[in-house]
Amino acid sequence: MAFSSSVGVRAYRFNDLKDLLAKASPARSGDVLAGISAESAVERAAARMCLADVLLSRFLDEPLIPYETDEVTRLIVGRHDALAFAAIGATTVGGFRDWLLDDATDSATLAGVAPGITPEMAAAVAKLMRNQDLILVAKKCRVVTRFRDTIGLPGRLAVRLQPNHPTDDPKGIAASMLDGLLYGCGDAVVGVNPAGDNLRTIVDLLHRLDEVRARFDIPTQTCVLTHVTNTLHAIGRGAPVDLVFQSIAGTEKANASFGLNLALLAEARDAALALGRGTIGNNVMYFETGQGSALSADANFGVDQQTCEARAYAVAREFAPLLTNSVVGFIGPEYLYDGKQIIRAGLEDHFCGKLLGVPLGVDVCYTNHAEADQDDMDTLLTLLGTAGVTFVMGVPGADDVMLNYQSTSFHDALYLRELLGLKRAPEFEAWLETMRVTDGAGRLLPAASPRLLAAAASIAEGDPQ
């Protein structure tokens, strides 16, 4: 069923719900590349006027990607909680925005409604919201997860310590890991992107990361961000796997391009749970997403990239992850052209993920051929901090020497915590104080931890242990 709207003397027609959502999206290069974006700001405004009057229930009646051919659509439909939806079931998209912004709609209310919100509803309302709206509502959404420490509590910010190395050199990885710990980073996860997919190297990295963690009894979790099948093989070889990592997307075809399906993710989660390595919780999955992944795999089916991204959060939600993050500027300017588009996308992703009940962090990042710089990233980082982002990245010098992109540094996390008064995960915070890395207020001590410094010295002398 088509939609129509008039702005001034001109009438605009939108073929269906998919077309309406695409035309209502803020401008971004990926939708232009896909040939689905609005042709002008006026057409975009007309689409938003139409979208504001659409009932939320319509998204249940008209799947954007057919139920019969897409397992993500089947997941969204099958897991929809009609009882939770009842509170907003008679609402339009515009009315939903007003309800989200209402002071009476608090964190508990949002958590109760989350199972009744579909990704398409979340994406639709995001298209009607200014940046400040996305920030304000996301701030009210709280998703708490646990493995060896507690992630997502109010007033706290976690950091993934990302000690990547271009040749997977264990000395280099261990040195970067200890460097990050000395800056108080690592409470989200110590996660390494391996340079290759050699299973022996992956198993060796898992053992070495766990040896450092166990040596200092660090209340965090480690992860090697390899393909889920490699992690299953590593578990079969007795490797100490805390979290199962996988990049995911919002359509069955896009996930197939990653070499996965929902059944494989379920198998991996069961395997990790069987290890019983969590001490205070059993959230064992770690997912990464990013706007443009479905389009880059020719698997978006005419759906705009922000809505495809929101559908990826339905996949994440199914497996109760400890962490999920949007690697927002990583895919490149073909999908998010400049700093303005990256900032908007980061706020959209964070809002949609949190609204759906997913523990959403953001890799505040860009590639060197995008029209963006570190000032843009400072802006997005600060906005996400005010929005209550679950975690961000901690990369030595903010420059990932293996993946060759720009992210956020250990110092950036210190800045955000100092600016907004944010604490670390409570268990990790207590450990840092015990290790004499920080004082009782969470500030770095002038004299670094003797034990960690001794470990760094031993690495410098050639002992990666």
- Indicate if the pLDDT at residue 403 is higher than 90: no
Average predicted confidence (pLDDT) for the chain: 95
Instruction: State how far the Cα of 156 lies from the Cα of 169, in Å rounded to an integer.
Output: 32
Tokens representing residue 433 in the block: 């104080």
pLDDT tens, 17-65? 999 999 999 999 999 999 999 999 999 999 999 999 999 999 999 999 9
pLDDT at 463: 61
331 closest CA partner among 65, 33, 121, 64: 33
AA identity, residue 74: R
Distance separating alpha carbons of residues 156 and 405, to the nearest angstrom: 26
Q: What is the helix, strand, coil percentage profile of the chain, to 5?
A: 50, 15, 40
* Helices 131-140 & 374-386 angle (0-180, nearest 10): 50
The pLDDT value recorded for residue 461 is 64
* pLDDT per residue as tens digits for the range 301-323: 999 999 999 999 999 999 999 99
Radius of gyration of the chain (CA): 22
The secondary element (H helix, E strand) that includes residue 317 is: helix 305-318
Q: Please give the Cα distance from 151 to 219 (Å, whole number).
A: 12
Q: What is the pLDDT of residue 105?
A: 98
Cα distances (Å, whole numbers) of residue 378 to 217, 263, 333, 372, 398:
33, 39, 18, 11, 11
Residues 388 and 400: their CA atoms lie apart, in Å, by: 25
Cα–Cα distance measured from residue 28 to residue 335, given in angstroms and rounded to the nearest whole number? 7
Positive or negative, the Cα torsion across 343, 296, 65, 359? negative
- Cα–Cα distance between 327 and 270 in angstroms, integer? 26
The closest of 175, 220, 160, 170 to 195, measured between CA atoms, is 170
**Given its phi and psi angles, is residue 357 left (phi above 0), alpha (psi -120 to 50 degrees) or beta?**
left
pLDDT at site 3? 85
Q: How confident is the model at residue 447 (pLDDT cuts 50, 70, 90)?
A: confident
Instruction: List, in sequence order, the alpha helices (H) in 102-198.
Output: 107-113, 119-126, 131-140, 170-182
Tell me the one-letter amino acid at 201.
T
Whole-prediction pTM value?
0.96
pLDDT at 1 over 90: no
The reported pLDDT for the residue numbered 450 is 83
Cα–Cα distance, 182 to 251 (Å, whole number): 41
Weakest-pLDDT range from 242-256, 380-394, 397-411, 414-428: 397-411
Report how far apart the first and last C-alpha atoms of the chain are (Å, whole number).
Answer: 64
Q: Kindly report each contact of residues 36-44 with a partner whose C-beta sits within 8 Å and lies 24 or more positions away, as own/partner.
A: 36/302, 36/304, 37/304, 42/7, 42/8, 42/10, 43/12
